[in-house]
Amino acid sequence: MKFKDIQQKVVENAIRYGKEYDVEIDEDFALIKLYEEVGEFSQAVLIHRKKSRPEKHVTEDVSKREVAKELADVVGMAMVNAHLLGIDLEEAIDKKWISNAWLKKDK
């Protein structure tokens, strides 16, 4: 599946969520939700690395699945933020991480 298709499905899912729970999916919501998801990802990593209270420890497989789910939430909310801000995230990733077009331009 192409990146833009994935992003579109993520955005559609966020809009569906908003309608189902009567939550406005706007820039404020998306930014704060991204912070929340980063926190949940951090917590999952700490649990995975056994750097949390022992009662939170789970098997390696379970903790890795939780880390993956929370990382997917972070990436998904980054996609929703890009959509709401009118940013072509695929292009931005290419310019920043792959072709380094922005770095070359800044020199």
Domains (range + CATH), the chain: 7-106 (1.10.287)
- Give the pLDDT confidence score for residue 69 in this predicted structure: 98
Alpha carbons within 13 A on the beta-carbon side of 75: 13
**Spans in the chain with pLDDT lower than 70:** 103-107
Q: Which helix (H) or strand (E) holds 6?
A: helix 3-21
pLDDT of residue 103: 67
* Number of neighbouring beta carbons within 10 Å of residue 43: 15
Using CA atoms, how far apart are residues 47 and 63, in angstroms rounded to an integer?
A: 7
Whole-number pLDDT of residue 107: 55
- Are 47 and 63 contacting, i.e. CB atoms less than 8 angstroms apart? yes
User: Residue 35: which of 88, 6, 73, 7 has the closest Cα?
Assistant: 73
* Number of C-beta neighbours around residue 91 at 10 A: 13
For residue 100, the model assigns a pLDDT of 82
Quote the pTM value. 0.89
